[in-house]
């Protein structure tokens, strides 16, 4: 068989089908896990690593050797089944091995072993059809995959009730295996003449997966719509949703404007491929962060309106006690809270508080007499409504559902959670800028584009550090709170992306001018001197 017959020009339907299983798996994990603490964040990234590196190994085989056949379809069915298995175990994944979650780690390590055993078989079959000198290198990969699968099986027995004595995070060994198998496959690819990665559609596969992951951010938009406009659109709900939508769109444009259109060379191709894992993690975390921030803005506006109504009940122009309670009840009802999402206790508490207010002799306190709508009871109403609003939107503190009633306690608890979201959101936004800068540096290796490469890379690095500097606001509570409850927070990342995209046009013009200047001065750049294998 000629080596060129292995190469495909574009992604096949079964490859795209496998990509959809990956994203469906990720969406399932996202729906059942909130990123509201550092431990939850690491759990998210670690589970993403499990399915991402499995996807990568399958992809690195498919783009070079897979051909439509009964055998290939059976193998792909097994790989799809492993993705389904990952989804079943992912909902309870945590960063520590505990007696109650042993079955999760047992399941995951067996699924990883099955996936690698299937790749072992596929690599062996592919080596049969290759010339003897090339087949030897491929059989080295086959042997390594087989040994790696045995290690996954061995880890099954290390995940036991005594795992804590060995180390509750012993599953980190998986990451060393991910790195080792990726290294071996990529290094051996250089020793396989004619079927290295630079002659495959790896760029297309990575681009399509990135497109699907960015598109998954649209799901965040639909979730926000479902949770915030149940009673109709408002000016601010439109602003919040537009902020998330424009951010997702600019992320898409920022990536696909810098995708490679020509061969990258062996080394740069490998670096470009591996950098997609942190990029995909960053894009997913950005999407989740935008969703939480948008929902928080909606809740803060509702709480402000409720606070104003409570204050007006005992203001200068006081309504009757009955009218005041009716106004409070109408406002809470207008929020469209779905109390069935873990807020039934708060519903009964709110009903009890309003009933007491309605049947008290005096509503508003004065200097001479006490009233039923005092500061403590106002706090109780605000506190219960706060918990109910966040619970109905699927946002809960990391310690689970709270039974606190005072709004000062609740405010501290929720602000701590949103402070964490605020920090990680702008950190990953900065990392996204740094990733885009690295991609520009790798892709634009043509000497005629030196000005573009330096300028566009520098712009994104500056934008990244600018976004990173925003986290300094946490040192000033008042300023941070105003910023977190202002819609501008949703447009900050979009503005940074837009500035980078617009500046690219300037760098393109300068690069064109510089190339013309070099040509006129007789200092033509020798394009033949560009290295193609680095």
Query: In this predicted model, what pLDDT tens digit does every residue of 199-214 receive, in sequence order?
Result: 788 888 898 899 888 8
Per-residue pLDDT band at 251 (split at 50, 70, 90): very high
pLDDT confidence band for 526 (50 / 70 / 90): very low
Residue 287: pLDDT band with limits 50, 70, 90? confident
Read off the pLDDT of each residue in 307-318 and give the average, rounded to a whole number: 79
Residue whose pair of structure tokens reads 């939508």 in the numeric block: 245
- For residue 91, the model assigns a pLDDT of 74
Q: How confident is the model at residue 426 (pLDDT cuts 50, 70, 90)?
A: very high
pLDDT over 80 at 216, yes or no: no
Residues 101/94, Cβ–Cβ less than 8 Å: yes
Evaluated on CA atoms 404, 410, 412, 414, the torsion sign reads: positive
How much is the average pLDDT of 49-78? Answer: 89
Alpha-carbon distance of 133 to 168, in angstroms, equals: 45
Residues 6+ apart with CB under 8 A from 242: none
d(CA 281, CA 430): 13
- 228 vs 37, residue with greater confidence: 37
> How far apart are alpha carbons 471 and 469 in whole angstroms?
5
pLDDT greater at residue 532 or residue 254: 254
Task: Give the model's pLDDT for residue 4.
Answer: 46
The average pLDDT across 11-18 equals: 81
pLDDT at 285 over 50: yes
Residue 524 has pLDDT above 70, yes or no: no
CA–CA distance, 187 with 171 (Å, rounded to integer): 25
Closest CA relative to residue 314, chosen from 327, 332, 299, 296? 327
What pLDDT score does 515 carry? Answer: 65
DSSP string, 273-322: HHTHHHHHHHHHHHHHHHHHHHHHHHHHHHHHHHHHHHHHHTSSSPPPHH
Neighbour tally for 122: CB within 10 Å: 23
Full-model pTM: 0.85
Alpha carbons 301 and 51: distance in angstroms, whole number: 38
The angle at the Cα of 62, spanning 210 to 8, to the nearest 5 degrees, equals 90
| pLDDT per residue as tens digits for the range 82-140 | 988 888 887 778 777 777 778 888 899 999 999 999 999 999 998 888 777 777 878 88
Residue 195 has pLDDT above 70, yes or no: no
Q: Is the pLDDT of residue 45 over 50?
A: yes
Q: Please state, in angstroms and rounded to a whole number, the distance separating the CA atoms of residues 508 and 68.
A: 43
131: three-class secondary structure by DSSP: coil
Q: Is 149 or 64 the better-scoring residue by pLDDT?
A: 149
**Token duo for residue 340:** 């069935």
Q: How far is CA 274 from CA 43, 186, 405, in A?
A: 20, 10, 48
State the burial class of residue 88 (Cβ atoms within 10 Å of its Cβ: 0-12, 13-18, 19+): middle
Q: Exposed, middle or buried: residue 425 (CB in 10 Å: 0-12, 13-18, 19+)? A: buried
Position 221 pLDDT exceeds 90? no
Confidence band (pLDDT; 50, 70, 90) for 8? very low
pLDDT band at 18; cut points 50, 70, 90? confident
Distance in angstroms (rounded) separating the CA atoms of residues 343 and 391: 6
Rg for the chain, CA atoms, rounded? 28
Q: What is the pLDDT of residue 157?
A: 85
231: three-class secondary structure by DSSP: coil
Mean pLDDT, rounded, of the chain: 81
On the 0-12 / 13-18 / 19+ scale of CB atoms within 10 A, 454 is: middle
- Report yes or no: 30 and 22 within 8 Å, Cβ to Cβ: no
Task: Tell me the three-class secondary structure of 425-484, residue by residue.
Answer: HHHHHHHHHHHHHHHHHHHCCCHHHHHHHHHHHHHHHHHHHHHHHHHHHHHCHHHHHHHH
């Amino acid at each position: 068989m000629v080596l060129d017959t292995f190469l495909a020009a574009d992604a096949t339907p079964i490859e795209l089908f496998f990509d959809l299983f990956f994203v469906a798996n990720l969406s399932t994990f996202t729906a059942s896990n909130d990123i509201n603490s550092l431990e939850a964040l690491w759990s998210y990234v670690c589970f993403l690593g499990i399915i991402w590196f499995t996807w990568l190994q399958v992809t690195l085989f498919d783009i070079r050797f897979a051909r439509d056949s009964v055998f290939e379809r059976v193998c792909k069915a097994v790989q799809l089944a492993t993705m389904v298995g990952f989804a079943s175990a992912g909902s309870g994944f945590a960063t520590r091995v505990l007696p109650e979650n042993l079955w999760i780690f047992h399941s995951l390590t067996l699924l990883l072993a099955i996936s690698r055993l299937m790749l072992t078989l596929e690599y062996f079959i592919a080596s049969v059809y290759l010339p003897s000198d090339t087949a030897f290198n491929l059989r080295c990969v086959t042997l390594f995959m087989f040994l790696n699968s045995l290690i996954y099986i061995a880890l099954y027995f290390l995940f036991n009730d005594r795992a804590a004595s060995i180390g509750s995070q012993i599953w980190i060994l998986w990451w060393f295996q991910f790195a080792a198998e990726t290294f071996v496959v990529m290094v051996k690819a250089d020793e396989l003449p004619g079927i290295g990665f630079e002659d495959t559609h790896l760029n297309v596969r990575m681009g399509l997966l990135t497109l699907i992951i960015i598109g998954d951010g649209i799901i965040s938009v639909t979730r926000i719509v479902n949770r915030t406009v149940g009673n109709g659109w408002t000016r601010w709900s439109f602003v919040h949703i537009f902020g998330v939508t424009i951010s997702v769109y600019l992320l898409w444009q920022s990536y696909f404007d810098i995708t490679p259109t020509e061969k990258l060379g062996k080394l740069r191709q490998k670096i470009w491929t591996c950098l997609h894992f942190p990029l995909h993690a960053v894009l997913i975390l950005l999407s989740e962060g935008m969703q939480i921030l948008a929902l928080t803005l909606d809740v803060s506006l509702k709480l402000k309106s409720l606070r104003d109504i409570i204050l007006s009940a005992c203001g200068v122009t006081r309504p009757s006690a009955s009218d005041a309670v009716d106004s409070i009840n109408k406002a809470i009802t207008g929020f469209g809270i779905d109390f069935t999402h873990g807020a039934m206790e708060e519903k009964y508490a709110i009903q009890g508080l309003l009933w007491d207010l309605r049947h008290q002799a005096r509503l508003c306190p004065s200097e001479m007499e006490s009233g039923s709508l005092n500061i403590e009871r106002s706090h109780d109403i605000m506190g219960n409504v706060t918990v109910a609003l966040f619970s109905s939107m699927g946002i809960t503190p990391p310690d689970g559902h709270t039974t606190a009633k005072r709004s000062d306690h609740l405010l501290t608890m929720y602000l701590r959670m949103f402070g964490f979201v605020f920090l990680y959101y702008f950190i990953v936004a900065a990392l996204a800028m740094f990733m885009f800068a690295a991609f520009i540096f790798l892709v634009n290796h043509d000497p005629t584009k030196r000005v573009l490469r330096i300028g566009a890379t520098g712009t994104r690095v500056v934008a990244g550090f600018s976004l990173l500097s925003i986290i300094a606001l946490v040192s000033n509570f008042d300023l941070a709170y105003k910023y977190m409850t202002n819609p501008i927070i949703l447009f900050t990342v979009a503005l940074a992306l837009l500035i980078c995209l617009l500046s690219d046009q300037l760098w393109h013009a300068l690069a064109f001018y510089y190339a013309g200047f070099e040509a006129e001065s007789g200092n033509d750049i020798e394009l033949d001197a560009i290295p193609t294998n680095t």
